[in-house]
Amino acid sequence: MSEPITGITTPIRMEYRYTPGTATSLFLRAMKEGRFEGRRCPSCQKVYFPPRGGCSMCGVEFAESVPLKNTGTIATYTVVNVNFANRTVDLPYVVAEVKFDGADVTTSLLLKGVGVDEVRQGMRVEAKWIPEDEWDFSLANISHVEALDEPDAPLESYKDAI
């Protein structure tokens, strides 16, 4: 072939040994044991779940661990109609931003058992765990959330998390 070259591919591959940091490690250890554990900001008292480095509003390290419940409220959600690579969930599906009871921020989780026409803000949900013998240091221990048979939570209870 003698066509002029107009493009090339230059793949890159980088290998790291990732360490999650103090706050996230505590969260991951709790997940391994089947517990939800958030971290409280000593300045504004907000509870982060999952926690990362520190309070993103105050710029301070977290102080205490806060056990959280397995239940929460859908603060907002999106309906996914286009799959991305390696995702095998049937379309369409709902990704919900769940504010777990006792937390002040939301966590993105798959919602199952609720039609895309039925999902709404304020809907009460419960986390469903994968089998205990598969628990790891991972948020993936939660396979999804399912709706609870409860009245919707008032907007006031979750509006600050949106």
Partner 1 sequence: MRDVAIVSFAQHSQRREDSRNEIEILLPVIRDALAPIGLKTQDMGFTVSGSTDYLAGQAFAFVSALDAVGPWPPISESHVEMDGAFALYEAWVRLQHGDIDTALVYSFGKSSPGDVGRVLALQLEPYLLGPLWPDAVSLAALQARALLDSGKATEKDFARVVARSRRNARSNPFAQLQGDVDEAALLEEPLYADPFRLHDLPPVTDGAACIILAAGDRARELSDNPVWIKGIDHRIDLQAPGSRDLTVSPSTKLAAEKVGIPADVDLAEIHAPFSSQELILIEALGLDESKTAINPSGGALAANAVMVAGLQRFGEAFNRIQAGDGKNAVVHATGGPCLQQNLVAVLEAGK
Partner 2 sequence: MSEEVLSAPHIMEFPYTRSTGPVVGAFLTGLRDQKVLGYQASDGRVMCPPPEFDAGTNAPVDAAGLVEVGAEGVVTSWSWNPVPRDGNPFDRPFAWALVKLDGADSSILHALDADRGAISTGMRVKVRWAEERVGFINDIACFEPA
The residue whose two tokens read 């419940």 is 69
- Nearest distance from residue 84's CB to partner 2, in Å? 15
Give 57 or 91: the residue with its C-beta nearer to Zn ion: 57
Nearest-5° Cα angle at 123, 122 to 126: 125
Please enumerate in sequence order all residues whose Cβ is within 8 A of that of 91, keeping only pairs 6 or more positions apart, or say none: 80, 81, 82, 83
The answer to whether residue 85 forms part of the interface with partner 1 (CB under 8 A) is no
The token pair that represents 88 in the structure block:
């095998």
23 binds, among Zn ion, partner 1, partner 2, none (CB under 5 to 8 A by kind): partner 1
Displacement of CA 89 from its chain's centroid (Å): 17
Report in angstroms how near the CB of residue 36 gets to partner 2 at its nearest.
Answer: 17
Q: Does 19 bind partner 1 (CB under 8 A)?
A: yes
Any idea how long the chain is?
162
Residue 14 interacting with partner 2 (CB under 8 A): yes
86 counts as binding partner 2 under rule CB under 8 A: no
Bond preceding residue 92 cis, omega within 30 of 0 = yes
Our finding on whether 76 is near Zn ion (CB under 5 A) is no
Find the binder of partner 1 among 50, 54, 103, 145 (CB under 8 A). 54
Does 53 participate in binding Zn ion (rule CB under 5 A)?
no
